[in-house]
Amino acid sequence: MTLRLILIRHAKSDWGEAGLDDHDRPLNERGRRAAPKIGSWLAARGYLPDAALVSTALRTRQTWDLIAAELSDPPDPVFSRGLYLAEPRALLAAIRGAQGTCLALVGHNPGIGSLARSLAATAPAHAKFGQYPTGATTVIDWGADDWSAIGPGDGRAIDFAVPRDLD
């Protein structure tokens, strides 16, 4: 059995409203254009999640909604406040408790980028992987049958994209 993890950093957010709590920041126009591109890319390549974990931050929820609109039969997401600005250890704990065989996780940097780098045995050959910019998406496979069995350095990164690649 193969498990597939899709790690997505939220699309570009809006910093325009002074005093707005970070958790409540929405996507900006660029982010609203970028997220559907990631969804279309996932769909075109057959990376179709059957489960989704999403931070409760507004920008991650909006990113997921725009991605999911491009997927056939997207899963209902599980929203978790614990994923908001989470460190890699907390993200991995959430993944290890997940259901399904193809899991999408929408989160924040620096945690999501660090997690992608730690899980992949070999980094994708892409100049932006180390920076993990907004909208960055990594697809990682494991030859395991349970999420609790995955760990750092034993995943195979099979794909990576950033929205600018998809213009």
CB count in 10 Å sphere of residue 71: 17
Tell me which residue range forms the domain holding 69: 33-48+63-73
- Cβ–Cβ under 8 Å, residues 107 and 95: no
Specify if 39 maps to a domain: yes
- Greatest alpha-carbon pair distance for the chain in Å reads 49
Specify if 56 maps to a domain: no
The DSSP bridge pattern shows strands 102-107 and 51-55 to be parallel
Specify if 41 maps to a domain: yes
Q: How many domains, the chain?
A: 1
> Distance between CA atoms of 57 and 52, rounded to whole angstroms?
15
Specify if 157 maps to a domain: no
What torsion do the CA atoms of 46, 47, 48, 50 make, to the nearest 10 degrees? 140
Specify if 16 maps to a domain: no
Specify if 120 maps to a domain: no
Plot region of 14 (φ>0 → left; ψ -120 to 50 → alpha; else → beta): beta
- Cβ–Cβ under 8 Å, residues 64 and 7: no
Q: Strand ranges (DSSP E) for 15-154?
A: 51-55, 78-80, 102-107, 137-142
Specify if 118 maps to a domain: no
pLDDT string in tens for the chain (167-residue length): 799 999 999 999 998 877 889 999 999 999 999 999 999 999 999 999 999 999 999 999 999 999 999 999 999 999 999 999 999 999 999 999 999 999 999 999 999 999 999 999 999 999 999 999 999 999 999 999 899 999 999 999 999 999 999 97
Specify if 131 maps to a domain: no
- Sign of the torsion formed by the C-alpha atoms of 81, 114, 93 and 48: positive
The token pair that represents 152 in the structure block: 């750092």
